[in-house]
């Protein structure tokens, strides 16, 4: 084709040049025995891989399918391998094509077409991996917008030129210089590292929380320490992958130090207070605490900066960790320690009060939540009131008297029923009104 394109824009001339090259390449393939041989090898490799896959897949499915309800590590591994069975076809096709490529190159001395086909099989394997095997939303997104485009560029043979271009293009930020390739590599590696760090942190936290022989505070401290180690290692690996020397971070470290000394000192104080609380175990998740300002609630979450309390009415109170160190905090729970509660009641003056302690103590002891240790229920005479004789019963329970544990209400029911059973009157307020006649004037 001999066209006069001198009057056309340069981009049109360049596009036509590429079309002419493609046309010439297609003509050479049509008349070249080596090209036809490579196409034939590709087709034969694909068909043979298809036959092998169909025969193997049924056998492997039966062998890999775990027993129903199995949850051990081997069952999980077999389920994962079952998910990977769709990869058999492109993997076998790639392997057979690689064998065919060696034969073709030894006979004809070239194998560009079959090498292209081999890369296409790899692209198909990556596509199956992203669409059918990967279930995590983040990894699926990364595969769709990073892995598949990279494999597509690799399949058409442009990965090396593109990599060279990105390596030669540099970006300078002060005394730090890095290439576009290093930046892209850092973004991709950082995403993978921190995803893996999050997954590892979840697994380690789940394992630590299962260790019931450890105190809750110790478990939290171990989980926080594991989190710091995991993400610290991920950060240093990322810096190494990006080629950023750690000495270049000295200026950043100095700036952070100055910030902590001025504007961030409260954050630093809360973080250090949180570490102290974990080490000492003064308050942990599940404890019911009352602060010095009267606010009270159950600790439902701990963070590096604060603890979150949930009140009986469902409100969340965010309390800085420093307040637990510098102010008075009453801990009613202490994760399982017994608490002493007291309820009061009255009987009429006609009652033989010497019978009351035994009757009420026996009745209260029937409650399943009332403990015999450190002391059984104890009934004490409190005083002589206007309408009746006042008593108080003290008893020990695990936990506190809240919406879930209605200890006080249950004990009052037991007291009422016990008094009624023994025909003991519960007084009600009485008043005597004296009427006096005033003398007539």
**Domain locations along the chain:** 32-157, 176-261, 265-331, 338-421
Q: Which CATH class is domain 265-331?
A: mainly beta
Mapping DSSP to helix (H, G, I), strand (E, B) and coil, where does residue 343 land? strand
pLDDT value for 114:
79
pLDDT value for 8:
64
For residue 143, the 8-state DSSP code is: I
- pTM for the whole structure: 0.50
pLDDT value for 28:
59
Q: Express each pLDDT in 53-74 by its tens digit.
A: 888 888 888 787 877 777 777 7
pLDDT along the chain (441 residues), means of 10: 61 65 60 70 86 85 77 76 84 86 74 80 88 83 85 82 79 69 78 80 77 68 74 75 62 60 68 74 76 80 80 81 81 67 88 89 88 87 87 85 75 91 84 69 50
Q: Express each pLDDT in 215-230 by its tens digit.
A: 666 666 677 777 777 7
pLDDT value for 391:
92
For residue 133, the 8-state DSSP code is: I
Those residues whose C-beta lies under 8 Å from the C-beta of residue 75, and which sit 6 or more positions away, are: 66, 67
**Closest C-alpha among 191, 198, 289 to residue 242:** 191
What would the CATH number be for the domain defined by 338-421?
3.30.70.100
Please indicate whether the domains covering 265-331 and 338-421 agree at the CATH topology level. Answer: no
Number of other CB atoms surrounding residue 65 within 10 Å: 13
Largest Cα–Cα separation, the chain: 146
pLDDT value for 298:
80
**Closest C-alpha among 335, 348, 418, 331 to residue 377:** 418
Number of other CB atoms surrounding residue 72 within 10 Å: 10
pLDDT value for 416:
92
Q: Which residue has the tokens 């005597």?
A: 432
pLDDT value for 248:
57
Pairwise CA distance, residues 282 & 262, whole Å: 29
């Amino acid at each position: 084709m001999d066209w006069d394109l001198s009057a056309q824009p340069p981009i049109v001339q360049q596009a036509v040049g590429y079309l002419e090259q493609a046309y010439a390449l297609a003509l050479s393939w049509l008349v070249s025995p080596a090209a036809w041989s490579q196409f034939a090898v590709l087709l034969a490799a694909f068909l043979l891989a298809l036959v092998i896959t169909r025969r193997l897949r049924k056998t492997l499915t039966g062998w890999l399918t775990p027993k129903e309800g199995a949850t051990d590590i081997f069952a999980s591994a077999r389920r994962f391998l079952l998910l990977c069975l769709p990869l058999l076809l492109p993997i076998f096709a790639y392997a057979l094509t690689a064998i065919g490529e060696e034969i073709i190159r030894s006979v004809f001395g070239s194998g560009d077409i079959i090498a292209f086909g081999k890369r296409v099989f790899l692209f198909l394997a990556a596509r199956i991996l992203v669409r059918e095997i990967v279930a995590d939303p983040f990894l699926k997104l990364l595969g769709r917008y990073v892995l598949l485009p990279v494999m597509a560029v690799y399949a058409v043979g442009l990965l090396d030129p593109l990599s060279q271009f990105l390596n030669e293009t540099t970006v300078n930020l002060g005394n730090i210089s890095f290439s576009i390739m290093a930046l892209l590599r850092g973004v991709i590696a950082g995403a993978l590292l921190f995803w893996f760090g999050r997954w590892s942190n979840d697994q380690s936290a789940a394992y630590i929380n299962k260790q019931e022989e450890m105190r809750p505070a110790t478990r939290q401290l171990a989980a926080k320490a594991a989190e710091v180690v995991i993400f610290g290692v991920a950060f240093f690996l990322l810096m190494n992958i990006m080629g950023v020397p750690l000495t270049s971070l000295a200026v950043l470290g100095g700036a952070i130090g100055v910030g902590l000394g001025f504007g961030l000192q409260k954050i630093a104080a809360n973080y250090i207070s949180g570490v102290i609380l974990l080490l000492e175990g003064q308050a942990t998740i599940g404890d019911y605490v009352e602060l010095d300002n009267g606010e009270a609630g159950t600790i439902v979450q701990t963070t590096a900066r604060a603890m979150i309390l949930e009140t009986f009415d469902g409100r969340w109170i965010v309390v800085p960790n420093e307040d637990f160190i510098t102010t008075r905090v009453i801990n009613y729970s202490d994760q399982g320690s017994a608490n002493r509660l007291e309820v009061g009641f009255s009987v009429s003056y006609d009652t033989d009060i010497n019978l009351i302690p035994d009757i009420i103590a026996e009745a209260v002891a029937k409650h399943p939540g009332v403990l015999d240790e450190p002391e059984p229920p104890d009934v004490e005479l409190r005083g002589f009131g206007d309408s009746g004789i006042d008593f108080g019963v003290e008893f020990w329970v695990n936990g506190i008297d809240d919406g879930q544990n209605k200890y006080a209400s249950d004990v009052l029911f037991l007291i009422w029923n016990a008094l009624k059973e023994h025909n003991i009157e519960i007084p009600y307020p009485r008043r005597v009104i004296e009427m006096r006649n005033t003398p007539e004037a």
